[in-house]
Homo-oligomer: A and B are copies of this chain.
Amino acid sequence: MGGHANAGYHPLTTETVVQVVAPLNHFADVNQLEIKEIGDGNLNYVFHVVEPATGKSLIVKQALPYAKVVGESWPLTLDRARIESEALRRAAEYVPALVPKVHHTDERLACTVMEDLSDHVILRKGLIQGQVYPKLAEHIATFLAQTLFHTSDFFLSPLDKKEQVRAFINPELCKITEDLVFTDPFFNHETNDFPEALQSSVEALWNDLELKRETAKLKHAFLTRAEALVHGDLHTGSIFVTADSTKVIDPEFAYYGPIAFDIGQFFANLALNYLSHFHHSPDPQQRRTFQEYLLEVIEETWARFKEQFSQLWQTKGQDVYMQVAGVEDDFFERLLEDTIGFAGCEVIRRTIGLAHVADLDSISDEETQLRLKDKALTLGSVLIKQRRQLTRITHLSETIRGVAHA
């Protein structure tokens, strides 16, 4: 598996990328393009292609046959370009306004030509700066409800569902999540990354048998539950925003997995941002307001998600059991429990695992950073272990508030 390039694959350059966009007839004159590589170079090339005369632009994203993380390099399947492109197209069937438009896919070159979103900022960055996005909850709720419902057994015919499962089998990217989200942070593993001063808290976590038993169940769910086509990496770095626009990007981790996983990752990254504002918002009043805004985003996202999903359930449900009294309630009850559990895993792995978040890591004051990371570990553990008792979305926001201010 992995790493083997397709026949005819070659890494694009700022010179050769024009060959990809020329046939699309998007630009007036492909000899007058300004092309810059703007990716971080770890997994993909991202070319920003602009035609100054017309103001037109495009993004060309190409998968590289390897991944580079902290100096290490390992082979990684180019098939993820196909997965990402197909997942964006699937999402566009239901929420075209909430994903970048895909203009073209070249499987040989493992690249996708898509809408340029340079006028947007990465949500994580905006939230660190204390920006409020009034449409965020509504948009993410819509994205989640529409994409998850329409790719699940609740909507698809049994035969279509299985064909979709087959098309989105994504073993290598799933393995990254299995390892980095669900396993390594809970054991003394070399990929972990945390300040030495956090050692005793981390060891307490590694020695918490109840936590590990519960995390084992969540990992097993991630491994086995083919419920819907999930985005698979829905943190605040995979969301582009403006004041009134939201775009979900980068679904290269998409696969058939638990519906709760996407929701949980989103909530976890809001919770991490919440903690980080003890530093980023020095003014207590301003801080309180912004932190409460973040909890409102969580509560509103859940409420609107539930509302929309429920409406789809009632109007477009294909399974006769969906009309049986109580079945829908049972579904949402278990969904919230799973969501909170997955959120707990994400909070922990972003704190001590391989891939951190700028929210906490950008905190210059070492002691504050440490204190907040310690709180993050507590929060993650509580969410995983007490998820069955947190039966309302307000229990989640109360838990975040409570742990943060303890």
> Are B325 and A209 in touch, CB under 8 angstroms?
yes
**Complex formed: what's the CA distance from A219 to B330 in Å?**
13
B-contact 0/1 string along A152-166, CB 8 Å cutoff: 010000110111011
> Are B169 and A165 in touch, CB under 8 angstroms?
yes
> Are B183 and A158 in touch, CB under 8 angstroms?
no
Within 8 Å by CB of A171, from B163, B219, B225, B320, lies: B163
A residues 159-200 near B (Cβ < 8 Å) are 159, 161-163, 165-166, 169-172, 174-175, 178, 183, 187
- Give the nearest-CB partner of A334 in chain B: B217
Within 8 Å by CB of A183, from B163, B226, B227, B320, lies: B320
> Are B324 and A212 in touch, CB under 8 angstroms?
yes
**Complex formed: what's the CA distance from A360 to B169 in Å?**
43
**Complex formed: what's the CA distance from A220 to B161 in Å?**
13
Assuming A166-B166, A169-B166, A225-B224, is B158 touching A327 (CB within 8 A)?
no
A243 in the interface, Cβ–Cβ < 8 Å?
A: no
**Complex formed: what's the CA distance from A374 to B243 in Å?**
64
Within 8 Å by CB of A162, from B158, B171, B320, lies: B171
Least CB distance, A310 to chain B, in whole angstroms = 16
Within 8 Å by CB of A324, from B1, B213, B223, lies: B213
> Are A330 and B171 in touch, CB under 8 angstroms?
no
Least CB distance, A86 to chain B, in whole angstroms = 15
A215 in the interface, Cβ–Cβ < 8 Å?
A: yes
A216 in the interface, Cβ–Cβ < 8 Å?
A: yes
A326 in the interface, Cβ–Cβ < 8 Å?
A: yes
A residues 124-166 near B (Cβ < 8 Å) are 153, 158-159, 161-163, 165-166
Within 8 Å by CB of A326, from B158, B174, B209, B324, lies: B209
Least CB distance, A148 to chain B, in whole angstroms = 13
Q: Which chain B residues lie closer than 8 Å to A223 at the CB level?
A: 153, 158, 161
